[in-house]
Structure 1
Amino acid sequence: MRIVVAAAAALSLTLLTLWVGAAPSRADDGVPQIEPDAVTAIEIHKLRQPDSLLPAASGLPQDTSGMTPVAGATFTATRVPGIDLTTSAGQQTTAALTAERAGVLAAGAPAAARATTDSGGDASLSGLGVGVYLVREVATPAGYAPAVPFLVALPLTDPVTRDGWLYTVHVYPKNAYAGISLTDVDHDAVALGDAVAWRSLSGIPNAAVIDGYRLVERMDARLALLGNGPDDGAVSIRCDDSRARSACTQPIAGVDYTWVFDAATNELTVDFTPAGLAMLARAVALDPAAQVALAYRTTVTADGDLTTQSLLYASRAAIDGGAGAPAPVSDSATTRWGPLAIVVHERGNPQNLIAGATFRLYRTAADAASGSNPIVVGGSSEWTTDARGRIDVAGLRFSGFVDGLDRPSDDPLYRFYYAVPIAFPSGYTGSNATLRTIVESTTDAQVVTVEVWRTSGGGGLPVTGGRIPWAIGAIAVGAVGAGILLIVRRRDRRVRPEEPGRP
């Protein structure tokens, strides 16, 4: 009921001004005659629709402290032809006039004044004459639903003294606002093919009648929607007010909204049906902070800054577009993915790049230590260096950008990657220690450098300057022994005398 009253208040300006201004002006009733050549004005005070109602407009200035002004709304005032307010007949005609009928009568007539609200929400439709004016909002800021057209009779009877006229009338058209926010959840995603969850939360215009409501999700071409029907996502209404939560019903696909995915543009569109629009109006009547939640998931198909944009069209005018129509409000969220590289070369000889070394990647140090749950990218869980001694692994989620936020390295959601060698080519060996690394660029791979060294054969001890091969050692020992024997024999000959008959 509160919202119904709010809508009535938005329209009451027409009725109020007509009834106040419709009192016949005669010389014998004590009210001064209308000056037929008087210059009149309409002072617009554009405000965001509040949760509670203001006093009914009277044509006089009102206290709008604490209310939100709306800048950038353009209004026109068009005089309704054929009505002379200085006569009783003209005033009676005015009393029965509606904005819809006035629109027909004024069709094709030029606007008598045009103005756009400033930062304070104020605009002046000035330089007008005596008559009845149809006031229309012809340009609306993004996110707002346009105010309904209304009528102002100039002049109005002074509501305080009742014995004079207001040639400057103050009006307070309201705009119902609805914004939108988008978040992504990718902390569990690691490699290409993993799912990233997205959720938009959009406001509902605080109005009794909602004539249109559309949500559009524009996804990066490198994101693939998981499924393409409403069963693959979720549309719900969030009512946080405890009094409203139990009565806040949930929309049904095909009844309250339609779900259309365009593969050519990679856009998802959710449109509320008339039944769904009525549901939204009931929800915001129960809870002015009620929101529409749209959730869905995508997979990642390539590296890059992958951005999705959410757009809310919260009125029929916004959906239809055209000159002066309010632009949709929007928000965006991004998930970031990039490459990792491993380069293997001979120790002490960086130019000698080693092919045939095989590695695995892991999410955690514990997985790396146990050799369990390796990362799988494109169906592969092992990679081997090519002729350049290099492995390139594309499609890994950023280390320090998680769930749409930059994260320091000590944040629990910061992602390290762990590379572990599992095989070296014949003739080489190296350390099997786990190598921790990160991903921080969408284009330039973070390079992990690994050194290997030669062995004496198919995987024997490494050849280093501190070790002598056993064959060389044996030869050396034999040579020393032979030398000692020769010296002993020569010494023996010098010490002992020669035997007779021995040469």
Structure 2
Amino acid sequence: MKSTARGGIRAAGITLTAALIALGASGGPALADPAEGGGPQGRATPAVNLINQDSGSLTIHKYTHPGGEIGDPGSGLEIDPFAPPTGALPLEGVVFTAEQIDPATYDLKTNAGWSAVAGLTPQKIANDQIPLEAPVSSAETNSEGWAKIANLPVGAYLITETEYPSGTTPLPPFIVTVPVTDPGTAATPDTPGTPAKWVYDVHVYPKNPQTNASKTVSDADSAKKGDAVVWTILGDIPETNTVAEGAKIDGYRIVDVLDSRLTYGTYVPGETPSVDDTDATTVSLTTDPETVLSAGVDYTLSVEADDTDSKATKVQVTFTPAGLEKLEQNTDRQVKVVITTFVNASGDDVTDPTASGIISNQASIYPNAAAIEGEVEPVTTEKVVTKWGNVSILKQDAEEQTALPGATFAIYATKDDAENDQRRIDTQKTGDDGLAHFTVLRYSGWADGAETTAKQTYWIAEIAAPDGYSLNATPVEVEVDDADAKYDVTMDNAKKFVLPKTGGAGTLALTAAGALLISAAVLQVIRRRRRETVES
């Protein structure tokens, strides 16, 4: 989508020459002073009365500006061959309009006209309501990044980007003249040099700052519902010095719409998270050290239900004029927004086979007022993903394989925790179907938005057996790799060995048997003593 520029002039203070910034080109100003010796490097410019054509053309070569050196002001002359800096790409689909500035006052076939145009700026045109001549001429850049506006009468022109692709920051309007001067070359001992002349086919090489954005997630240290899932957004700052002194960043906003399975803020057991938790969002600039910005001073923060999905939460950071000024002072850095959330669900309706705990998130950067006002699409980050799932355990009789309700299990992050019953993640009891469900557990093989070989496994231990059954003595290691609540673990329980009850029939029988044995032993002793007496 391309934006359509609003009426009026966006930026102030653009100088005549600074708008014509070549991508790495060198040379004198695009507008020459007709006074003798006023050309670049002190070389003379041709006399005004030598302007012998009534019209010319303007070719605009448009490239993205990925960062780096800006280059010197352009001369208005064609650079052939032209080699853009590394990383600069032709920008297709930019529409430029050319409006002639009051040809009566700024008649470039006169010295007075050149003197008048020397002090002209886009802001002066707006402030003084200097008339612009109709009709308006326009052209759109092609796949090679250039657009040509032909048949322009000799004069001064206000050039405006009226349409531009998303992700680019438009240049403020600038001024160019048709014609411009070719100052020629100075004579050397070996060459005679070339005279100055007027050039009617003018070439300019402005660059559009391009805004890039990225997003990451941090959840490797999280394992359960309520643990922090932290999102970090980085957005480029448009380079105002690609245009001229006085160019401004007229707006900057970052928006992150949180999935309904994410809750904004920090989890506190027993408390309802507040959307007024400003500590859950931090904003800074990636300077060294980082420049921490202040809510209410450098930016405003709003956290509210999303316009299109009332269950989702929209976090919006909008820079104030004070914050925009700090951006302009740090165009070689990035804006950093960190948002803290926690997972509140992972498709934990175990009866729903389509339940999903794969939660993706994407942020949008609005690098200028046109994007904020909906005239152009924002820059979006790549989607990043946090994955959360469930695990279920089936408790059944070891012999009959029937479901056992009433068994209590706990799940832990480590084997040591399970063996010592410490730091339980969750506790669940089996229902009539013998199942206990543990939900909202981070995937074992996924952390910080990517697959990981250092898997987070979980350990399940039985902490209370059903009546009549023995505890399962060994914790079971499990992996969570699916959001669906599958019957992942089956644990058999054996019935207890039943000891006789005190005072029961079994006890009486044993007592009787013991009495008989004792009696037999006593009789045997008596017989032995009688025998010994007779013999003696």
Show CA shifts across 1:48-85 (max 9, x none): 06432312201121543435125235122323265275
Which residue of structure 2 lines up, in the alignment, with residue 223 of structure 1? Answer: 262
Written as runs of structure 1 = structure 2, the 5 A alignment for 1:321-400 is 321-322=374-375, 325=376, 327-347=378-398, 349-350=400-401, 352-376=402-426, 381=427, 383-400=428-445
1:149 CA displacement: 1.1
Show CA shifts across 1:273-293 (max 9, x none): 111211222233xxx2x2222
Say whether the 8 Å CA contact 2:15–2:121 is kept in structure 1: no
Q: TM-score, normalised by structure 2?
A: 0.71
Larger fraction in helix: 1
1:219 CA displacement: 0.9
Which residue of structure 2 lines up, in the alignment, with residue 124 of structure 1? Answer: 147
Stretches of structure 2 lacking an aligned partner (at least 5 in a row): 1-12, 23-27, 39-45, 185-193, 242-247, 266-273, 307-311, 347-356, 511-536
Query: Structure 2 counterpart of 1:19, which letter?
Result: A
Match of 1:87 among 90, 95, 109: 109
- Return 10-19 or 205-214, whichever deviates more: 10-19
1:297 CA displacement: 1.2
Match of 2:360 among 298, 307, 327: 307
Match of 1:193 among 226, 235, 245: 226
Which residue of structure 1 lines up, in the alignment, with residue 180 of structure 2? Answer: 156
> CA 1:344–1:95 in 2, change beyond 3 Å: closer, same or farther?
same
2: CA distance between counterparts of 1:99 and 1:6?
6
Q: Does 1:297 align with 2:315?
A: no
Which residue of structure 1 lines up, in the alignment, with residue 60 of structure 2? Answer: 43
1: CA distance between counterparts of 2:386 and 2:151?
55
> CA 1:178–1:458 in 2, change beyond 3 Å: closer, same or farther?
farther
Query: Structure 2 counterpart of 1:296, which letter?
Result: I
Show CA shifts across 1:327-359 (max 9, x none): 334344321111111112333544x22222221
Show CA shifts across 1:119-161 (max 9, x none): x5x2122433324333222233333321111122223222335
Q: Does 1:99 align with 2:122?
A: yes
Which residue of structure 1 lines up, in the alignment, with residue 139 of structure 2? Answer: 114
Q: Does 1:78 align with 2:98?
A: yes
Say whether the 8 Å CA contact 2:103–2:133 is kept in structure 1: no
2: CA distance between counterparts of 1:30 and 1:114?
29
Show CA shifts across 1:77-101 (max 9, x none): 3232652756326555544443345
1:268 CA displacement: 1.4
1: CA distance between counterparts of 2:464 and 2:291?
60
Stretches of structure 1 lacking an aligned partner (at least 5 in a row): 461-469, 475-503
Which residue of structure 2 lines up, in the alignment, with residue 17 of structure 1? Answer: 30
Q: TM-score, normalised by structure 1?
A: 0.75
1:294 CA displacement: 1.7
Say whether the 8 Å CA contact 1:229–1:260 is kept in structure 2: no
2: CA distance between counterparts of 1:372 and 1:184?
28
Say whether the 8 Å CA contact 1:178–1:203 is kept in structure 2: yes
1:6 CA displacement: 11
Show CA shifts across 1:185-237 (max 9, x none): 11222221222122222222222532222122211111111142433332222
> CA 1:35–1:142 in 2, change beyond 3 Å: closer, same or farther?
same
Q: Does 1:281 align with 2:328?
A: yes
1: CA distance between counterparts of 2:16 and 2:295?
31
The number of residues matched between the two structures is: 431
2: CA distance between counterparts of 1:137 and 1:369?
69
1:438 CA displacement: 1.1
Q: Does 1:260 align with 2:302?
A: yes
> CA 1:249–1:340 in 2, change beyond 3 Å: closer, same or farther?
closer
Q: Does 1:269 align with 2:330?
A: no
Identity of aligned pairs, percent?
Answer: 28
1: CA distance between counterparts of 2:370 and 2:162?
10
